[in-house]
Each structure stands twice: as C-alpha cells, then as structure tokens.
Homo-oligomer: A and B are copies of this chain.
C-alpha cells in the first residue's frame, strides 16, 4: 500500500496517516520531496483498509500494490489446484473436464436419458437444476427435492458425479449428502452469507462469476469460501452483462487467462448461458478450450423446444456428440487431456 499526500498537507495529517498505517500492522517508509510526499507500507498490508486510508484528510491518493485475496492467490500457491469431484473425475491439472446436462431436471426419463447420452459422448459429470433462480416468480422454479432424487437416479445409472445449484442454506445438509459439486449461481456470487456457509461444507464448489462482477470481486468471493476452510473451489466464467444484446451475455474469455494467472484455482466456461443461443455453443466451447479453460459446462436437452427452461441455449445429445468429436483435437492442440 502506498499513500501520496496532497501538496498542502499538514503535519498533523501526516501523523494521522502514518498512525493509520501503523495500526494496520505495517512499518511506514516516508519519502518527502519538494512537492510530493509518499508513504509506503513495509510488511503484511492485508489488514490495511484502502478505502479508509483514502478518506483521511491530507491524503491525495492510495494505491494498493498487492491483491486483496490470499488463499486464492497464485503468489502463495504457485501450483495449479486440482479438484476431485468424485467418480474418479478431476478438474484442473491438465484435464479438460466436460460437464453436461439439462438446465432443469424435468423427469426421470429426461435426466437419465440425457445422462446416458452425454456419458456415451465423453462427459465427465452431469449438470441439472433442481432449484432454479428465475427472474419471474411465476416461471417454473425447479422440481426441488424431487429433482435431486432424479439426479441421484441418473448418477446411479451412469456413475457420473452430479453438479447442481444451491440457492438456500436450508438445503445444505441435504446437498452435503446427495450432491457431488455444489453450484453457486451468478446471482448469488455476492450472497456472502451463503458463501460462508458453503465454505464450511466438505464438497467442491462451482462458483459462477456474477453478472457484472469484476475478476477481483469473483476471486474475493472464492476467498470467502476458502477463508472458511473449503479450498475446493472451481471458478466458472459464464458471460458478463454489457450493452450488447445480440448474445444473452458477453463471454469474457480473457477472464480465463486472467484467473489462471492470478489464481491457482481451475476455471471452467459455460458457453450456453453466456451466449443464450444453441448455435453459438460449439464455437464458443472451442474458443474457451483454446483460451486455456480447464473444462466446460454445457446445457444438453433431449428436446430443447419443449424444455421447461433455457431451451434456446440447449443443444441436443446429437449436437453434443458432434461437439465432443471436435473438442478432442482441440484439447490435444492445447495440451489438455479430454
């Protein structure tokens, strides 16, 4: 942390600024020039509050030098984290892990059928929503507990680990028992109460990036989970909100490179939610792998036109199979194993 004083600062203001830094547990290095006086922090500045320092009288500007996340930071954990999600499946560490399945669990036939189809094409895990975050209270809200039960049947039939969204802390004990990967949706990325509770779970967490979250905020949300003891965090880029409305969101593939550099956590990409159009899924899935993603999460539905949710962005099992065939050489091209 570096503080630059205003040209007209007083001695008292300087003292206050130095004291505020020292109270944060750092030593202060003072550099006085004819026009510019600078204070630099020596030591662990993680307890310094940038915002609070900014508002001190006589302070012109404050610059943070180090990132505010620690457990998620690659600096303190240079090796890639590899997350085991059960069923012998890992995310990170050279694998390209493809998670596939419908937006919502609708029926036994649907979820077991899709699970078998995507497994046959090479998917490593099954996604499917039982609790659905919907913009409208009048839209289908998911089948709830019955949906979880159906996911477990699909798992029994295929051996695929299951990934499903948690929306309420009330469901945590049940998720702890039934689910392999706990998904935190984009709209709950800064539901800090839920993040803390999920941080006390023993399950891997798939943390989607918020609709308008910066990369740093996203990593800070991972830090919330990790600070409670759960280090099994998989990041998921799913598009951000911009002015462009041809696509549902704007997929930010540069974020994949960014988090792979800033953090040791694996990152998967959701091209389905990002684009909102089934015909764009293949192209963006290919691009995501080329950008270095550790995996993909893809919406596959046996009958997209009659899906209860997100049909427009779901591909069919046949299209998924064709996509997987294209992903093999792509994975090889970037040194990943599919």
Residue numbers of A with Cβ under 8 A of B are 2, 4, 16, 29-31, 33-36, 38, 40-43, 46-47, 49, 51-52, 54-57, 60-61, 63, 65, 68, 133-140, 167-170, 187-188, 190-194, 196, 211-212, 214-217, 220, 223-224, 227-228, 240-247, 250-258, 261, 274-275, 279-280, 283-284, 286-292, 304-312, 329-330, 333-334
Contacts and interface: CB of A to CB of B under 8 A. Distances in A.
A188 to B, nearest CB: 6
A55 B305 contact: yes
Q: Which of A167, A191, A256 has the most CB of B within 10 A?
A: A191
Contacts of A257: 275, 280, 283-284
Given A35-B42, A42-B36, A169-B169, A63 B2 contact: yes
Q: Which of A4, A29, A57, A288 has the most CB of B within 10 A?
A: A29
A250 B252 contact: yes
Nearest 4 interchain pairs by C-beta: A31-B31, A212-B212, A290-B290, A187-B190
Contacts of A245: 214, 245
A274 B258 CA distance: 13
Given A38-B40, A169-B170, 12 more contacts: A2-B36, A36-B40, A36-B41, A55-B312, A135-B220, A137-B196, A137-B223, A240-B242, A245-B245, A254-B280, A287-B291, A329-B333
A212 B211 contact: yes
Copies in the complex: 4
A312 B31 contact: no
Contact of A212 (B46, B65, B243, B334): B243
Contacts of A224: 137
20 contacts: A2-B2, A36-B40, A36-B41, A46-B138, A49-B140, A51-B311, A52-B308, A52-B311, A68-B136, A68-B138, A137-B223, A167-B192, A169-B170, A214-B243, A250-B254, A254-B283, A286-B291, A287-B291, A289-B290, A290-B290
A289 B61 CA distance: 31
Interface residues of chain A: helix, strand, loop or mixed (majority): mixed
A98 to B, nearest CB: 16
A138 B47 contact: yes
A42 B34 contact: yes
A310 B49 CA distance: 11
A243 B243 contact: yes
A136 B223 contact: yes
Contacts of A280: 254, 257-258
Contact of A29 (B36, B56, B133, B243): B36
Contacts of A244: 214-215, 240, 252, 255
B312 A54 contact: yes
B29 A31 contact: yes
A236 to B, nearest CB: 16
Contacts of A188: 190-191
